[in-house]
Chains A and B, each alone.
Chain A
């Protein structure tokens, strides 16, 4: 024990010094972080963002700069932020909820304040809440991501119904827990009806489709050849292409006959009823729908811009060429029914 005392105290000293350094760092930082160009008041806008920091932070910084508003952002997973808002109730400090998917927005719909028409009317009707509680900011398409070493686009069925064919057994992956996937199944119930959707789910399960916790590992598994195709959102591919180069052997396929597998959905945002900064919040949404921001989504996150006059990134299939099923936003609302069906078929715990 005597031998060790000095070293232990040394260890404690290092720890204390680190904490102290860290504390100083944090103090410096908080001044760096003040995102005001024109000296806006503190606590001007609080955003809960289910969209990842690496994607939207540069854009939010630009808004703070341009609007002279100090923006503070809490980044976490969309579902967990929705659960957080539900627990906080009317005491939520958040002004804006910026979600990955309409499901997350829908689950806290009763905490949202209706948006002005001139805001929501900037996007097409399929990209906004019918009640006006939230507005789509960017579009994302459901795709079949396939491994180009094993398959060509012509091997793939005209629509995803064809994936229940036993030839696909053991070659596919999906993420039934994922909100976008569930929205697609909700659309499927609307287009195909409950029974045919059940048959599809049962066919996919009979085909031993591997379940993954989310989209990223699916695209990684398609890339490695662990599976040959996966049902995902379109933009993950472009991150992998950026990291691993164009030789990454995965491409997206939008089902050529359309159908639920060609659904286009949105990531969106809304203003909380309890917000004390509704003006700044409205400016935030206006900014997100501005040409600047929409161009950013098109070029930096490879999503579909939703306002007129902003071109789609040329790597993507233009929205007009995707044979989107005609589904109204209201038809996409019944997530509970979808989850019951997913549980019933065993696709979801």
Chain B
């Protein structure tokens, strides 16, 4: 990546023509780990099929009720709405923060992506407390304008809004990457040939963004499919809610498994759809060779509406939750609530999330090589299978590992390692996305040269490929870190006995309505996981940095 534009272009064409570069890296060190990773990703699926096989007639009858179809339709509606709303927010924000003279652009670059660090169960609770029919906003409006009740936030719109605010950064990052990596000459040519700014955007820029939008849409949609915290608090019954109800009430694991497999089926359909979009878009994929700095678009009179857009998004998704948490903390402290010491929870969170980030990133390397350096059916399969964990609610993945751990892997059961393994299954796409798009930019000729000069495959990986992939690997690791920081169900179920993290401390207090005690660890979770993200986003030029996170491109 330190080489000039010419060689980068060469690599882009080079590896496409050279689908047999694999021997350069040696098959064994790639295929064995890659196969193991695929097997690990399939564990939850194997568990679900095993459980579903035990389903009796009554479970099948319950699954095939009219009610289940309604739930399915609701789930699809929610996922589509979140996807559309995320696109509507992410594309303008990405453009504003990369291509315009927006005031304080650097700051907005970081702030607009930060909602990623807010756990869904915290955000949803706060949305209800703040924007509910008789929430904080209503109280404010009552004092000012005498409004006694706001329309209910519950249901489809509330759930769509909440999940969109939490998940749109998954699209913001890849779209920003695509915009930043675009050759400015394209738009300039269009303009010089007589297109207006808007026409040029729709005819030239937008098609270039399509792969980025598709990759982001995939993650956003899967997030909406698997989210539980927001749909439960906002009372919108989706498939995850149905799964939760089974675990909560009937202990009917076979019905829960049937619902979970339905969810995986939906996720599979989304993956295939995304692949179809990509297939058509691949011949005009973003040129990655532009190193010429891009001229910023002067916003002029659009400056204020643009700031309003960035500001309102930040206000809702970031300032609001933070303010409510701070109010709880302050109120509890002034009422004499005592804070429990958080050092041990903090240490455990940092340790387990740090390990998850390292382990997941390391195992993502061979998978990325298998996917990028040889695009066969196995690579295609590997890439898709890595999304199984991401598409499932955490509790399902956790219980599948309880089953395998307690029965077949007793020595690691309820150790930190099994928890780290669960995080890896849940968040693998984040690490793979980083590793993969970084490797795309590494010229395979460098690897070939190293091999021809006598380096072994492992040495070549360690001294040539991995150092060149560093930025992408770090970005992926940062994402895994923050996702693991806020993960709750797997942490509760699989953590070593007595293992408290910031997330479990916050949950434990909130579930008993000790809001002040819940607020402190929640605030700390958000702050700690913001650090790596903020450094990643502000540390390098957006053009370079965000390019590394383009999953499935």
Interface string of A207-219 (1 = CB under 8 A from B): 0001111101101
A4 to B340, CA, bound (A): 39
Q: List 24 A-B contacts (CB under 8 A).
A: A10-B535, A11-B474, A11-B539, A15-B357, A15-B477, A19-B354, A19-B355, A22-B350, A29-B344, A33-B498, A52-B509, A54-B340, A73-B498, A75-B508, A79-B249, A87-B406, A88-B407, A177-B244, A216-B510, A217-B233, A220-B513, A225-B134, A236-B513, A349-B241
A220 adjacent to B474 (CB under 8 Å): no
Per-residue CB proximity of B138-160 to A under 8 Å, as 1/0? 00000000000000001000000
Query: Does B508 contact A52, Cβ atoms closer than 8 Å?
Result: yes
How far does the Cβ of B235 sit from chain A's closest Cβ, in whole Å? 6
Task: Give the B-binding residues of A (Cβ under 8 A).
Answer: 1-5, 7-8, 10-12, 14-16, 18-19, 21-26, 29, 32-33, 46, 52-55, 72-77, 79-84, 86-89, 91-93, 103, 107, 177, 179, 182, 210-214, 216-217, 219-221, 224-226, 236, 239-240, 242-245, 335-336, 339, 343, 346, 348-349
A8/B470 contact (C-beta < 8 A), A73-B497, A88-B406, A217-B128 known: yes
Binds A, one of B23-31, B105-113, B367-375, B395-403: B395-403
Which A residue sits closest to B47, measured CB to CB? A87
- State in angstroms the CA–CA spacing of A83 and B247 once bound together: 7
Stretch at the interface among B37-45, B94-102, B540-548: B540-548
- Known interface pairs A80-B493, A93-B414; A243-B335 also in contact (CB < 8 Å): yes
Contacts known (A93-B497, A177-B248); A52 close to B511, Cβ less than 8 A = yes
Q: How distant is the Cα of A82 from the Cα of B495 in the complex, in angstroms? A: 16
Which residue of chain B has the shortest Cβ distance to A239 in the bound complex? B513
**Which residues in B have their C-beta under 8 angstroms from that of A212?**
235
Checking B232, B253, B544 against A213 with a beta-carbon cut-off of 8 angstroms, the contacting residue is B232
- CB pair B249 A179 closer than 8 Å: yes
Q: Which residues of A contact B241 (CB under 8 A)?
A: 349
Answer whether A22 and B347 are a contact pair too, CB < 8 Å, given A4-B539, A52-B508, A224-B134.
yes
Tell me which residues across on chain B come within 8 A of A220, comparing CB atoms: 129, 513
A79-B247, A224-B132 given; name 15 further pairs at CB < 8 Å.
Answer: A1-B471, A1-B540, A3-B541, A4-B540, A14-B535, A18-B350, A24-B347, A74-B414, A80-B247, A83-B247, A87-B399, A216-B512, A219-B513, A226-B133, A336-B250
Query: Which 8 pairs across A and B sit closest by C-beta, in order of nearness?
Result: A4-B540, A25-B347, A19-B354, A7-B539, A22-B350, A88-B406, A76-B492, A224-B134
> How many residues from B make CB contacts under 8 Å with A?
88
In the bound assembly, the distance between CA atoms of A212 and B125 in angstroms comes to 12
List residues of B (229-287) whose CB comes within 8 Å of A's CBs: 232-233, 235, 237, 241-242, 244-245, 247-251, 253
C-alpha gap A31/B346 in the complex (Å): 17
From A7, A216, A243, A335, give the contact of B540 (CB < 8 A). Answer: A7
- The main secondary structure of chain B at its interface with chain A is helix
A211 contacts B235, CB within 8 Å? Answer: yes
Check: B481 CB closer than 8 A to any chain A CB.
yes
Separation of A210 and B132 alpha carbons in the complex (Å): 13
Q: Closest residue to B248 on the A side, CB-wise?
A: A79
Scoring B residues 273 to 308 as 1 if CB is less than 8 Å from chain A, else 0, what string do you get? 000000000000000000000000000000000000
- B244, B251, B347, B407: the one contacting A107 at CB < 8 Å is B251
Query: Are the CB atoms of A216 and B513 closer together than 8 Å?
Result: yes
Looking at B337, B355, B493, the one whose CB has the most chain A CB atoms below 10 A away is B493
Binds A, one of B311-319, B448-456, B514-522: B514-522
The residues of B that contact A73 with a CB separation of less than 8 Å are: 497-498
- By CB atoms of chain B within 10 A, which of A22, A82, A91 has the most? A22
Which B residue's beta carbon lies closest to that of A213? Answer: B232
Interface assignment of B186: CB less than 8 Å from any CB of chain A: no
Bound together, the chains give a CA A349 to CA B125 distance in angstroms of: 22
**What does DSSP make chain A's interface, helix, strand, loop or mixed?**
helix
For B492, the chain A residues whose CB sits under 8 A away are 74-77, 80
Q: How far is the CA of A25 from the CA of B351 in the complex (A)?
A: 9
Q: Which of A33, A84, A225, A349 contacts B493 (CB 8 A)?
A: A84
Q: Which chain A residues lie closer than 8 Å to B340 at the CB level?
A: 54
With a 10 A CB-CB cut-off, give which of A19, A81, A103 has the most chain B CB atoms.
A19
Minimum Cβ distance to chain A for residue B490 (Å): 11
A239 B253 Cβ-Cβ under 8 A: no
A7, B134: Cα distance in complex, Å? 46
Q: Smallest distance from the beta carbon of B465 to chain A beta carbons, Å?
A: 16
Measured between beta carbons, the chain A residues less than 8 angstroms from B128 are 217
Interface residues in B481-507 (C-beta closer than 8 Å to A): 481, 489, 492-493, 495, 497-498, 500, 504-505
Residue in chain B with minimal CB distance to A29: B344
Complex contact A82–B355 (CB within 8 A): no
Query: Does B206 lie at the interface of the complex (its beta carbon under 8 Å from any beta carbon of A)?
Result: no
CB distance from A172 to the nearest CB of B (A): 14
CA separation between A1 and B4, bound complex, in Å? 11
Q: Is B343 part of the contact surface with A, judged by Cβ < 8 Å?
A: yes
- The smallest beta-carbon distance between A52 and chain B, in angstroms, is 5
Q: Please give, as numbers and ranges, the residues of chain A lying within 8 Å of B477 by CB-CB distance.
A: 12, 15
Residue of A nearest to B58 (CB): A340
Whether A83 contacts B253 by the Cβ 8 Å rule is yes
- For residue B509, which residues in chain A have a CB less than 8 angstroms away from its CB? 52, 54
Q: Which chain B residues numbered 352 to 399 have a C-beta less than 8 Å away from chain A?
A: 354-355, 357-358, 395, 399
B336 CB, min distance to chain A CBs, angstroms: 9
Residue B431 at the chain A interface, CB threshold 8 Å: no
